[in-house]
Structure 1
Amino acid sequence: MDLKDRYPEVFNWGRWCKGWCCLGLLGFPVATCCESYFSSFSDLQEVVFIIQSQKNSVHVERAQKRQAELLQQAQKIDQRLPSVLLLHSLSDNEGDWSILPLLPYLSATFGKNSSWILFLEEQTNVKLDRLLHILRKFDAEKEWFLGKPLHDDESTIIHHYAFADNPSVFKYPDFGASWALSLPLINRLAEKVKDEPLKSDFTIDLKHEIALYIWDNGNGPSLTAVPELCTYPEKDPRSQHCATTLDTYLPVCGMPVKNEDIFVAVKTCKKFHTERVPVVKRTWERQAALLEYYSDHADPSIPTIDLGVPNTERGHCGKTFAILKRFLSADVPRTNWLLIVDDDTLISLPRLRALLSCYRPDEPVTLGERYGYGLGQGGYSYITGGGGMLFSREAVSRLLASGCKCYSNDAPDDMVLGMCLNALGLPVTHSPLFHQARPEDYAKEYLAHQVPISFHKHWNIDPVAIFHKWLVDDAGDTNLDFSQEGIKEEL
């Protein structure tokens, strides 16, 4: 006789099963009973998948491929089709990518008929049968925050120096491995978002800020580590037990863009001509075919160009807009791409050229590390300047044609550009390969599955050594294989 027929009261009443299996009173394997108790949901239809997609056409296509793959996989394992949603398409609210403003919608839509919401990135691979087995180990009627934990080894500016006494004590999820929230937690957080306006003005490192909000100074759950949520490549032997894996290669969609098709603008000032500019010259300047230094002082030994904009201690909006205008003028060679960096930015132009093979210059592309301002109350997204701001020619043309301008020379250039792009309805596109801070400011396991493109700031580091460690491959500038056989097609 089947166990469910012999012990109907056990399999119908999970709470009885929990007590009995813990005491070992049933006479059959404990795991069978315990799994029955914790399986408060039965199939994938009770799991909502949200792909953290973006509005740029390249990312829409990637997300749609991931969506189709998940649905096909569900069909193959004879599961009823789950909801697989694309984050960028859920509403017109710019702040949706920061997740918290989206919680009331998720609660209202799925709060009564689902058990889990699982977030994943475009490049996250999921094995649905393994994932389902893992989720059944957790009582979905309780509050759960699941993921692969990251931690800081030292307090960092991008996390506002949180947990300065012991930064490693706080765990936050690696989005690349996917992360999950149970619906009871979603429902409670949704009420909190509705009752208490989101306090933080800036969204800088979303994965850390999400974990802080959920933890709520100990009033909410901490992240529960799930070893089967992984960031190993799919074919890595270490991934055999994993329910999720991550495509960790540098996205390449064809031959890299030509070196002569990227115009590089380096923002500097007189006081850094002898301190920072030499670092650029010793590291990545030689990778650029077209590069100009813009300063408040013309120095023919570098050389620098004085755009007639006074230097400011912060913001640099006037200088940046002068660069945008110069890019479209006849004073410089015509190119499809403009890269604006600080004089203390470290960057790999070969890797950038490879990445740009995935983007269309005839679209208004703005690419880099995305931050947000006031996303809980509308607000806007922007590309933070230190990691490098990449613009297609079409994006620059639309920005300047709109009449967008600085309200002062020392206004924050990246934020003003974000406001203008938002007003125009043009998306900013996030790449986690650009970094506003130093390698030391990011979790080691997070950087371990990246091929980084940039870092920023020279504070308390040897920038030349950092460049060669993180941004140069053993074979030289790059060992990327751009032969037809070596190209990993993204689209």
Structure 2
Amino acid sequence: MLPINSQHGYSVAQYFLLLSLVPLITAKGDDVESPEKIHDAEKPPSETQLDLRRVVFVIQSQRNSFHVQQAEKLRKDLLLQTHALQESPPVILLLHTLSDNEGDWSILPLLPYLSSQFGKNSSWIMFLEEDTRVKLQKLHEVLKKFDHRKEWFLGKPLHDEESTIIHHYAFSENPAAFEYPDFSAGWALSIPLVNRLTSKIEDEPLKSDFTIDLKHEVALYIWEDGKGPRLTGVPELCTLPEHNPRAQYCATTVSSHSPLCGQPVKSENIFVAVKTCKKFHSDRVPVVKKTWSKQASLLEYYSDYADPSIPTINLGVPNTERGHCGKTFAILKRFLSSHMPKTDWLLIVDDDTLIRMVFSREAVVQLLASGCKCYSNDAPDDMVLGMCFNALRVPVTHSPLFHQARPEDYAREFLAHQTPISFHKHWNIDPIAVFNKWLKNGENTEGLQKSTKEEL
């Protein structure tokens, strides 16, 4: 869970690609012609002509330096395609640069800005993830099938196989009845829908809260208990690998290349802290030992009881039924102490996690130096950490490969194009079987890559 807090934001990252190839159209800056001026300067094209200028692309980028590079590569590819088509380039925005509102990553707070900037002279807002690949001409052919003067919510539909906690057990009687978009395939809103949603947001401001599964919650907000449109499935929006032969029919695909973000971090440079308690020593700890812990070079178990047979270390923090903030902060302090080997990375894991949250050493140093702390031992550690790092402007980098629930809690097609790093909870599953099916062969605990050490 990542907190949404409009009080704090991220700084603007610098752009560096394609400035000499084609005009860069942005929503900011006095030295660049605005999309409105460009539209007014030329006669409107006929309905049969390819007009990419009426499509606004929003790349769901992150401030992390690696992810900025990935987003820039996608923008470069879109501009190269436009150049090859001998067309004026569309508006291409990187989400993390649009404002200092940290909550913009959740899309809905961004809609009023998009409406004010593009609500008169554009037809579609097309959202893309960094790994989405687009065939511009085919995408335009797809969008032309829909009357952009009406409200449309387009995407590749996902649905739940069973009611799930990550969706608050919505549609429990028939989970498959509600469809939501797979962001990896790209998804689009027509401008009339963007404008109406903006009016709704202005009349009823969004709550400053947290989100669990963004794609599902965006779809629920748009649907508005049946008052708004449902997701319209578009077969050409795909999550096939870009080089799959069947992808020739797709307007979007997913990059089939693993991101090259540096050399793999050696297991000796990752310290693993497992949070447990006495009542779970006999059932959960053995699962950890039979599965992923074999890949960890440096690992300790932290409990409310020192059990030499495991062994566990008692940090002096009483066990709590939920939250565990006190235990987490005790682990962070121990990580920087002389008792521990000096490693660049700390991986904190619950005893019922098949792997979780990762910190760089510098992030831990900054956190503890700030004086930020738990307001109680049972405070939710993830929320407190999110607020602390947000105040420090240390970016929490999102990866969709970390999962806070079981495989059964996610749409089958969503997991089909992933190589997962983690799952959570042993409820009503065989955790060893889950590990062997989803995580064992990929050896994802060795997937940490070199990164800027100020980033979480």
Find out whether 1:465 has 2:417 as its counterpart: no
2: distance between equivalents of 1:284 and 1:220? 45
Q: How many angstroms apart in 2 are the aligned matches of 1:295 and 1:301? A: 13
Instruction: Verify: 1:300 aligned to 2:308, yes or no.
Output: yes
Distance 1:328 1:396 in 2: 8
Query: Within 1, Cα distance between the matches of 2:166 and 2:251?
Result: 30
2:355 pairs with 1:309 = no
- Check conservation: 2:241, 2:254, Cα contact below 8 A: yes
Alignment of 1:323-472 (within 5 A): 323-347=331-355, 388-472=356-440
Q: Tell me if structure 1 keeps the 8 A contact 2:421–2:444.
A: no
Residue of structure 1 in register with 2:254 after alignment: 246
Q: 1:249·1:451 contact (CA, 8 Å) conserved in 2?
A: no
Match for residue 165 of structure 1? 173
Given that 1:41 and 1:140 are in contact with CA atoms closer than 8 Å, whether structure 2 keeps it comes out as: no
Amino acid at match of 2:394: L
Deviation at 1:252, TM superposition (A): 3.9
Matched residue type, 1:158:
I
Amino acid aligned to 2:400? P
Q: CA deviation at 1:75?
A: 1.1
1:138 paired with 2:138, answer no
In structure 1, C-alpha distance between the alignment counterparts of 2:324 and 2:377, rounded to whole Å: 6
Question: Could you give the per-residue CA deviations for residues 65-121 of structure 1, whole angstroms, max 9, x where no partner exists?
Answer: 111221121111111111100000000101101011111111000000100000000
Q: CA RMSD in A?
A: 1.9
User: Are the aligned partners of 2:265 and 2:446 in contact in 1 as well (CA < 8 Å)?
Assistant: no
Structure 1 CA distance for aligned equivalents of residues 191 and 118 of structure 2:
8
Q: Please give the secondary structure, in 1, of the residue aligned with 2:363.
A: helix
How many angstroms apart in 2 are the aligned matches of 1:312 and 1:162? 29
Work out which of the residue numbers 50, 56, 66 in structure 1 matches 2:64. Answer: 56
- In the other structure, the counterpart of 2:327 is 319
Contact 1:261–1:337 (CA<8 Å) still a contact in 2?
yes
The separation in 1 between residues aligned to 2:296 and 2:416, in whole angstroms, is 27
CA distance in 2, matches of 1:91, 1:427: 15
Contact 1:250-1:451 at 8 Å conserved across structures: no
Give SS of 1:186's match. Answer: helix
Give the C-alpha shift of residue 41 in structure 1.
Answer: 8.3
C-alpha distance in 2 between matches for 1:248 and 1:471:
19
Note the C-alpha offset of 1:254. 3.9
1:128 correspondence with 2:96 = no
Which string of whole-angstrom CA distances, capped at 9 and with x for unpartnered residues, describes residues 272-297 of structure 1? Answer: 00011010011111110000000000
Give ranges in structure 1 of 5+ residues lacking alignment: 1-37, 348-387, 482-491
Summarize deviations over 1:11-70 as a string: whole Å, max 9, x none: xxxxxxxxxxxxxxxxxxxxxxxxxxx959850000000000001111011111111221
Say whether the 8 Å CA contact 1:148–1:174 is kept in structure 2.
yes
Rg bigger for which structure? 1
TM-score (norm 2): 0.86
User: Where does the alignment leave 5 or more consecutive residues of structure 2 unmatched?
Assistant: 1-45, 448-456
Q: Which runs of 4+ in 1 moved over 4 A?
A: 38-42, 476-481
Hey, what's the Cα distance between the residues in 1 that align with 2:304 and 2:116? 54
Note if 1:99 corresponds to 2:107: yes
**Which secondary structure does the structure 2 equivalent of 1:394 belong to?**
helix
TM-score, with structure 1 as normaliser: 0.80
1:251 to partner: Cα distance: 3.0
AA paired with 1:407? Y
Alignment of 1:163-202 (within 5 A): 163-199=171-207, 201-202=209-210
Q: Distance between the aligned counterparts of 2:209 and 2:262, measured in 1? A: 39
Change (3 A) 1:40 1:307: farther
